[in-house]
Amino acid sequence: MKYDFDQIVDRSNTNALKRDGWREYIFGDPEGKKQFNFKDEEFIHMWVADMEFKCADEIIDAIHKRVDHGIFGYTTVYNDDYPNAFAKWCKDRYDFEFNKEELCYSPGIIPALYELVGDICAPDEKVLFQTPSYGFFKHASTYNGREMVFNKMKYNAGEWELDFDELEKQCADPKTPLLVWCNPHNPTGRIWTDDELKRVAEIVEKNDMYIISDEIHCDMRRAGTSHTPMGKIMKDYPKLVTSMSASKCFNMAGLQLSNILIRDPELRQKFKDGDKLVGFLNPLSITAMQAAYEEGGQWLQEMNDYVDANFAYIKEFFDKNLPEMEFKIPDSTYLAWVNFGAVLPAGTDVNEFFANEAGVLIEGGDALFVDNAEGFVRLNLAMPKSQIEIAMQRMYDAIEKAGGRK
């Protein structure tokens, strides 16, 4: 291994959401009034989806070089270097090509979603997405005052499936013009099969809907899996928007740059007109993302291998100690979606329970994953294995102590 993923990096005093923002984000308590049994420095942070790993040296070096230039004036993408790097990544990794004119930028996939939901849905129209769901699909809808329709996924013995019968009916409603589609899916980690993708595409096309395919997790996969962009399935469908970024899988969400491929020229113009940053981007972000696409391949491979080993470790732990949870390693993401509902008393507030009883910060349940998520917890495994070992033991002890095993 060229890179060291065992290193524990202290994130205190870096204004990191993960280290310092959890009281507000998880418990709605920005002033820190709520008391916990653990001190701040004792918590293990398995919540929000960023990593405890340092960025690739290649990215850090590229940023240093750009910093040394010394001028950070108004910036956007004028030459072809960045679009070419991203296009080559898509072609090499997923054999996916797009027209460069479709490529728009945003500080994040979420800000883009906030804009697009309002652009696509009239005030009396609804936004459809699968649940359990990444929380911001809901927040983007409520921000715009749009009603939501939940397509509840079906859970059976560790496997999550789409409910196509329900999806057919929900898409047939002319007041629901938009499907927000998570490919691969956060939080379940499902990589959809090509057959599933084709069925979704058929339903969307039949009903002439817009689809926003959020593919931010697509480079974080278990060995042997592959990613199919929705843009390959819906080859010429004009109402497809694809969101991708190197931010998530290279651990640079704070640099805030994402790629939004918008095929429909009218929607694209509306999106650009609605950009409150009037097109400007952070110069360091462009440099960093370009370095990731051009030079980050080996780091990504090693990081995926490291996370695969973390998944294998927790799989063994759960199978041995808590087999009732029927844990299955997900196809994608560095997030384990685990059914603690199987081993805790019904109605347990999982976020509070694990914070207080185990000193482990996690996200779980409907409060953070919108709907269809009760009893489930998302564990972030993009961290040194030594930390995961401590967290797993503490969580297990807390469950035993609570006498909660059914």
Ligand X SMILES: Cc1ncc(COP(=O)(O)O)c(C=O)c1O
Our CB check for ligand X shows the closer of 217 and 394 to be: 217
d(CA 59, CA 55): 7
Q: Does 245 bind ligand X (CB under 6 A)?
A: yes
Q: Tell me 209's DSSP state.
A: -
Stretch touching ligand X by CB under 6 A, among 34-42, 102-110, 298-306, 363-371 = 102-110
Any idea how long the chain is? Answer: 406
Our CB check for ligand X shows the closer of 134 and 210 to be: 134
Q: Does 108 bind ligand X (CB under 6 A)?
A: yes
Distance in Å, CB of 214 to ligand X, minimum:
5
- Cβ atoms of 196 and 167 closer than 8 Å: no
Q: Does 379 bind ligand X (CB under 6 A)?
A: no
Q: Does 253 bind ligand X (CB under 6 A)?
A: yes
**DSSP H helical ranges for 296-377:** 297-321, 350-358, 365-369
Q: Does 242 bind ligand X (CB under 6 A)?
A: no
- Considering only 213, 258, 348, 372, the residue that binds ligand X (CB under 6 A) is 258
Q: Does 338 bind ligand X (CB under 6 A)?
A: no
Give the residue closest to ligand X by C-beta: 108
- Cβ atoms of 197 and 183 closer than 8 Å: yes
Q: Does 149 bind ligand X (CB under 6 A)?
A: no
Distance in Å, CB of 388 to ligand X, minimum:
19
Distance in Å, CB of 216 to ligand X, minimum:
4
Q: Does 109 bind ligand X (CB under 6 A)?
A: yes
Size of the site for ligand X (CB under 6 A): 13
Query: What six digits make up the tokens of 348?
Result: 């347990």
Our CB check for ligand X shows the closer of 247 and 348 to be: 247
Our CB check for ligand X shows the closer of 160 and 359 to be: 160
Distance in Å, CB of 20 to ligand X, minimum:
18
Tell whether omega for the bond before 229 is within 30 degrees of 0, i.e. cis.
Answer: no
Q: Does 49 bind ligand X (CB under 6 A)?
A: yes
Our CB check for ligand X shows the closer of 30 and 254 to be: 254
Our CB check for ligand X shows the closer of 171 and 216 to be: 216
Element containing residue 17 per DSSP (H, E): helix 17-20
Distance in Å, CB of 174 to ligand X, minimum:
27
Q: Does 240 bind ligand X (CB under 6 A)?
A: no
- Considering only 134, 160, 327, 334, the residue that binds ligand X (CB under 6 A) is 134
Our CB check for ligand X shows the closer of 247 and 310 to be: 247
Q: Does 281 bind ligand X (CB under 6 A)?
A: no
Distance in Å, CB of 249 to ligand X, minimum:
11
- 3-state class percentages of the chain: helix first, strand second, coil last, to nearest 5: 45, 15, 40
Q: How far is CA 268 from CA 120, 272, 296, 309, in A?
A: 11, 6, 29, 41
Q: Does 110 bind ligand X (CB under 6 A)?
A: yes
Terminal-to-terminal C-alpha distance of the chain: 42
Query: What six digits make up the tokens of 221?
Result: 């996969």
Residues 6+ apart with CB under 8 A from 304: 220, 221, 222, 223
Q: Does 350 bind ligand X (CB under 6 A)?
A: no
Stretch touching ligand X by CB under 6 A, among 107-115, 200-208, 262-270, 271-279 = 107-115
Residues 6+ apart with CB under 8 A from 72: 283, 284
Element containing residue 386 per DSSP (H, E): helix 385-401
Longest dimension (CA), the chain: 62
Q: Does 182 bind ligand X (CB under 6 A)?
A: yes
Distance in Å, CB of 389 to ligand X, minimum:
24
Q: Is 309 helix (H, G, I), strand (E, B) or coil?
A: helix
- Cβ atoms of 376 and 338 closer than 8 Å: yes
Q: How far is CA 336 from CA 55, 160, 340, in A?
A: 22, 13, 12
Distance in Å, CB of 206 to ligand X, minimum:
25
Stretch touching ligand X by CB under 6 A, among 80-88, 104-112, 308-316, 397-405 = 104-112
Our CB check for ligand X shows the closer of 146 and 378 to be: 378
Beta strand 44-45 with 360-361 is parallel
CA angle at residue 248 from 242 to 252, to 5 degrees?
Answer: 125
d(CA 106, CA 126): 23
Q: Which residues bind ligand X (CB under 6 A)?
A: 49, 108-110, 134, 182, 186, 214, 216, 245, 247, 253, 258
